[in-house]
Amino acid sequence: MSDGDSVVLLRPADDESDGRAAEEITDIRRTFKQVSPGIEVSVERIETDDFDTTVRQCLSVFRTAERNIVAGFGGGPREIFLPFTVAVLVVRDELEQVYQFNDIDGSVRELTVPELMTSLSKEPLHTLERIGAHDGQVTLPELAEGADVSKSTLGRHLDKLEAADAVRTTRDGKTRVVSLTLSGELRLHRGTGSERD
């Protein structure tokens, strides 16, 4: 981070009396001033009485950002955590980085947010189910065995699944090896949801 960057802290709209939160905000401001005096730290008050409104307000914070967006998880009010997580899933492709701060040991690690928003047509979803039936890793020739579509059609399905971050493909010589990503596993877990005809 450098001069001109902004940090937005999300706080419940009604937590005015929380002295601990005020201390933490002061500590965060002090820390960022040490990193670079030109970093602006602001607090965005989020309504928490209605889940839908809370999600929309979290999304609004992302939409009003002017530059590269980094989302941070760690600590903070529970009533904002789930709506913020939903918002992060929605704007996943707009985020430069997502990280998690561990307030116990002070460690920071980068997170990879699963892709769940891209809709897929029925045929690639059936291919995803076939991959899942092979314990999550299979070669294209194995996938084609017993399939009612050609290898080239399966290849196109794999391209769509890879673009949706549901699978990862590698090469073993000339053979395409396919494995599920976390996004693919989650899609299978929810019954491949969001099917489109």
User: pLDDT tens digits, residue range 139-185?
Assistant: 999 999 988 889 899 999 999 999 999 999 999 898 899 999 999 99
Q: What is the pLDDT of residue 20?
A: 76
**What is the rounded distance in angstroms from the CA atom of residue 64 to the CA atom of residue 78?**
23
CB 91 within 8 A of CB 59: yes
Give the per-residue pLDDT at 106.
78
Distance CA 74, CA 108 (A): 9
Distance in angstroms (rounded) separating the CA atoms of residues 138 and 32: 47
| Reported confidence tier of residue 17, pLDDT bands at 50, 70, 90 | low
pLDDT digits (tens, 9 = 90+) for 41-74: 888 999 999 999 999 999 999 998 877 888 888 7
pLDDT value of residue 16: 66
99-121: per-residue pLDDT in tens? 998 878 878 899 999 998 888 89
Burial of 175 (0-12, 13-18, 19+ CB in 10 A): exposed
Torsion of CA 89, 53, 193, 62, to 10 degrees: -20
Give me the CATH topology for the region 120-196: Arc Repressor Mutant, subunit A (1.10.10)
Q: Are strands 137-139 and 108-111 parallel, antiparallel or unpaired?
A: unpaired
What local confidence, expressed as pLDDT, does residue 86 receive?
94
- As a whole number of angstroms, the distance between CA 131 and CA 25 comes to 47
> Which among 74, 58, 76, 133 is positioned nearest to 106, based on CA atoms?
74
Q: What is the CATH number of domain 6-111?
A: 3.40.50.11700
CA proximity to 111, closest of 103, 99, 95: 99
pLDDT at 194: 45
Provide the token pair at 162.
């890879």
Rounded average pLDDT over 78-99: 91
Q: Where does the pLDDT of residue 197 fall: very low under 50, low under 70, confident under 90, or very high at 90 and above? A: very low
Residue 193 pLDDT? 44
The pLDDT value recorded for residue 33 is: 87
**Structural contact between residues 171 and 151, judged by C-beta atoms closer than 8 angstroms:** no
Domain coordinates in residue numbering, the chain: 6-111, 120-196
Q: What is the pTM (predicted TM-score) of this model?
A: 0.76
